[in-house]
Structure 1
Amino acid sequence: MILQTERMVLRPWRDTDAESLFEFAQDERVGPIAGWPPHQSVEESAEVIKTVFAQPGVFAVTLKGQDKAIGLVGLLLGTASNFDIGRDEAEVSYWIGVPFWGRGLIPEAVREILRYGFDDLKLQAIWSGYFDNNTQSKHVLDKCGFTYQFTQESVQTFMENAKRTEQLCRITKGEWQQLQAE
């Protein structure tokens, strides 16, 4: 499955993306605010592609006319989510390399993943969360129409011994349809 936006192609991750993933995921400004440690090697990035990213609904973010993975946007459906949600709901996750921050690319990618989730997958709600120190993710969710639902304390992250406070947000299919009509 390949999705397109005005400026991007969202495509499945490939083994050959390991070098570009490492290029951006080794930056300490990317992973830790999202709860995962910076990558330490191309081999680690290759393993993450194989074990985490290579699943339906998880896309490499690439710029049109280029085929380099610069970020990720994906849906974790129902019980695959990190949240206790229904089978007709999903969790959206996303990140982008620092050189691409501030260009509105991830909100554009998230809007396409919302369209895919609501129109193609017939989901009823899509959730996302951000840790208290991740103002970039909060801005993405605000721009895409998500609304705050509740706070979870002491959420275990992928980083050793790290527990954080997470703000959970949601957009329903009806809310999304209303935004499309405006």
Structure 2
Amino acid sequence: MELTTERLCLKPWQEADAARLYDLAKDPAVGPAAGWPAHKSAEESLQVIRESLKDAETYAVWRKADKLLIGCAGLKFGEDACSEKGSEPELGYWIGREYWGQGYAPEAAACLIDHAFADLGSQAVWCCYYEGNDKSKRVQEKLGFSYVRTDPKGDTLLGYTLPEVENVLRREDWEKKQA
């Protein structure tokens, strides 16, 4: 399944995307902000595609204008999600540093939010960011997410703990924005 916006196409990841994923994910400013270490090789990126990016509802984000892969966005269900119910997905996204500040993250995220509510029947979409990740915080604010809690234990990455801020967008709030 492919999802589209004015400027973007969200497509399932393919193993052939590994080299481009590595180009984006080796940047130390990208992964740690999203909760994963920078990739060390194209082989590692291929393994990440095989082990996690091939999951249902996880998409490579492509620019339509030049057919360039610029990031990732997805909906995660189940116990790994920060949601209160397994049927309420957690939204995740990241964009390569070269493409920051151009509105791609909110555009891709809004597409997945619409998909979660309109196509998947979700009653809420959750989204988290690590304290200090002001870019992700702003994306969530733009999209109408509301603060729920801060988990001081968050995640431990590269030897330090990152407190995690958890936010939610409920169906009724999304529907108000659609009217």
Match in the other structure for 2:154: 155
Alpha-carbon distance in structure 2 between the residues aligned to 1:49 and 1:16: 10
Match in the other structure for 1:142: 141
CA-CA distance at 1:65 after TM superposition: 4.2
SS of 2:69's equivalent in the other structure is: coil
Q: Is the 8 A contact 1:70 1:97 kept in 2?
A: yes
Q: Is the 8 A contact 2:144 2:169 kept in 1?
A: yes
Q: Is the 8 A contact 1:3 1:10 kept in 2?
A: yes
Q: Is the 8 A contact 2:2 2:11 kept in 1?
A: yes
Match in the other structure for 1:173: 171
Match in the other structure for 1:35: 35
Q: What is the RMSD computed on CA atoms of the aligned residues? A: 1.2
Q: Is the 8 A contact 2:29 2:97 kept in 1?
A: yes
SS of 1:27's equivalent in the other structure is: coil
Matching of residues 31-110 of structure 1 within 5 Å: 31-81=31-81, 83-110=82-109
SS of 1:40's equivalent in the other structure is: coil
Alpha-carbon distance in structure 1 between the residues aligned to 2:87 and 2:38: 32
Alpha-carbon distance in structure 2 between the residues aligned to 1:70 and 1:139: 19
Q: What residue identity is the alignment partner of 1:117?
A: A
- In terms of mean alpha carbon deviation, does 65-74 or 34-43 score higher? 65-74
**Structure 1 unmatched ranges of 5 or more:** none
SS of 1:78's equivalent in the other structure is: coil
Distance 1:113 1:91, change over 3 A: same
Alpha-carbon distance in structure 2 between the residues aligned to 1:137 and 1:48: 22
Alignment size in residue pairs = 179
Q: What residue identity is the alignment partner of 2:36?
A: W
SS of 1:52's equivalent in the other structure is: helix
Q: Is the 8 A contact 1:17 1:68 kept in 2?
A: no
Q: Is the 8 A contact 2:155 2:164 kept in 1?
A: no
Match in the other structure for 1:4: 4
Q: TM-score, normalised by structure 2?
A: 0.96
Which runs of at least 4 in structure 1 moved beyond 4 Å after TM superposition?
A: none
Q: Is the 8 A contact 1:25 1:31 kept in 2?
A: yes
Match in the other structure for 1:13: 13
